[in-house]
Amino acid sequence: MSQQATHSKGQARTQTIDMTHGPLAGKILFFTLPIMLSGVLQLLFNAADIIVVGRFAGSNSLAAVGSNGALINLIVNLLIGLSVGAAVAVGFYYGAQELQEVKETIHTSIAISLIGGVICLVLGLVLSPVLLRMMGTPENIISKAELYLQIYFIGLPAMSVYNFGSAILRALGDTKHPLYYLIVAGIVNIVLNVVFVAGFSMDVAGVAIATVISQVVSAFLTVRHMMRMEEELRLEWKKVHINKAKLARIAKVGIPSGIQSTVFSLSNVLIQSSINGFGELAVAGNSAASNIEGFIYVAMNSFYQSAQTFTSQNVGARRYKRINRVFATCALMVTVTGLVLGNCAYFFGKELLAIYLPGDAKAIEYGIIRMGVIATTYALCGIMDVLSGELRGMGESVLPMIVSLVGSCLLRVVWIYTIFQQFHTLKVLYYSYPVSWILTAAVHLLCYFYVRNRLIKRDPQAA
């Protein structure tokens, strides 16, 4: 594979990395850093919402916006899971240099993103008021929380198209263009936040509208780029349809991934409900701390995406010996990233939380409790995710789904109804995270060796 795909004049250049030959460490870093920056920019959308609301509308509005995180993830994670399936399928075909299959997968993926985005929009609008009440959202913030969600979900189709489009570009080895488009959308989001909230006093409605507009911008730029790619990869609207064979391949990895993420979100909704019981200040402190930890998470999650993409291309190219090297490199990098960023965030926790919660000492105290448990042990989550990415890159999605659901989700639910009931403190509630990460990662490691060895046995000539 060439370092840079050929293109004719006027076509978008698809920046590709040769993932199937040569040293890995430098290529993984080169591939990962734009993903990491893209994740940070996506979080800045929400951070800008929270910071602007906290400074210009108060802690009540901050809690209304922040309390929606778990519920938003619940609605959109099935779409994100399907985009993982699209990325694995595109990466496999691209590694095997089956470009016609790549193009058919791209058109099927865009069709899925549009249909899925509309379905999730409807589900979000219908279910959000009921779910907010089931979560025990405090009455003094529930009306603002509902308003924010109703507007936010209008942008789901655009968010879905961007997520699928960026996943496809990354599977092709292009991590730079999704970053460029998020930079533009991020600037739009931040400027509109200030204008709508500080300038026009639109409160939570203002930040929701700004977010929707920014999502439309990022989706538009991504689609425009895909329509200008090389002819053998180019997106053509007249060819956007559901190919049953490609849908099946995407669904094989994507649906288990989406189910896993959705059930994860359900367990987080249950945890959010438990946090709601400690009052508005605990909700605000938890929301601010969770947002800070989100930056650490996306930095680590970029190595999950790298592990998945590099592995899928090498499986497509039948270069199985490189799979272990991909895992070892990504695991080392994610561990260092998690330890450094997580412990730095905790060390400067009060200063960071004060950005979100100026002058609110009690809410900051609640945030520090969370960061002392979760941020300092976040590297465990990174290792768990890299292993999951390796398994999905090898085409195995049901096994990591089952392990994650039992090892993380079910354990957290059991923890809430047993240990948390006996020791009813926020710190004990937060301990459910590192415990579940350790157990899940250990079982994922056993599954990794099993799936890798099975893959080699099925194709001994390539091995």
> For all residues of the chain together, what is the average pLDDT?
85
**pLDDT of the residue at 16:** 67
| 228 Cβ contact list (under 8 Å, min separation 6) | 10, 11, 12, 234
Residue 4, φ and ψ in degrees, nearest 5: -145, 120
Segment 15-19 mean pLDDT? 69
pLDDT score of 207 more than 90? no
* Six-digit token string for 196: 């709508």
Residue 310, φ and ψ in degrees, nearest 5: -60, -40
pLDDT score of 5 more than 50? no
pLDDT score of 259 more than 50? yes
Measured CA to CA, the distance from residue 332 to residue 382 in angstroms comes to 10
Cα dihedral: 222, 173, 338, 358 (round 10): -20
Residue 300, φ and ψ in degrees, nearest 5: -75, -40
**pLDDT of the residue at 103:** 93
The sign one gets for the Cα dihedral 75, 80, 85, 86 is positive
**pLDDT of the residue at 12:** 45
Measured CA to CA, the distance from residue 2 to residue 18 in angstroms comes to 7
Q: How many residues does the chain have?
A: 463
Higher pLDDT, 269 or 229: 229
Percentage of residues in the chain with pLDDT exceeding 90? 32
Task: Name the amino acid, one letter, at 3.
Answer: Q
* Six-digit token string for 135: 């979560």
**pLDDT of the residue at 20:** 77
CB of 132 within 8 A of CB of 145?
A: yes
Segment 5-26 mean pLDDT? 61
Which pLDDT band holds residue 358 (cuts at 50, 70, 90)? confident
CB of 397 within 8 A of CB of 253?
A: yes
* Six-digit token string for 304: 């999950």
pLDDT score of 331 more than 90? yes
**pLDDT of the residue at 4:** 37
The distance between the two most distant Cα atoms of the chain, rounded to a whole number of Å, is: 68
By C-alpha distance, which of 120, 96, 119, 116 is closest to 108? 116
The string of DSSP letters for 225-236 reads: HHTTS-TTT---
CB of 236 within 8 A of CB of 215?
A: no
295-315, pLDDT tens digit by residue?
899 899 899 989 988 998 888
* Six-digit token string for 200: 């026009």
CB of 146 within 8 A of CB of 129?
A: yes
Higher pLDDT, 3 or 417: 417
Which pLDDT band holds residue 1 (cuts at 50, 70, 90)? very low
Measured CA to CA, the distance from residue 275 to residue 138 in angstroms comes to 11
CA atoms within 13 A on the CB side of 298: 17
Three-class secondary structure of residue 4 per DSSP: strand
Domains in the chain: boundaries:
25-458
CB of 426 within 8 A of CB of 366?
A: yes
* Six-digit token string for 290: 């969770």
CB of 363 within 8 A of CB of 59?
A: yes
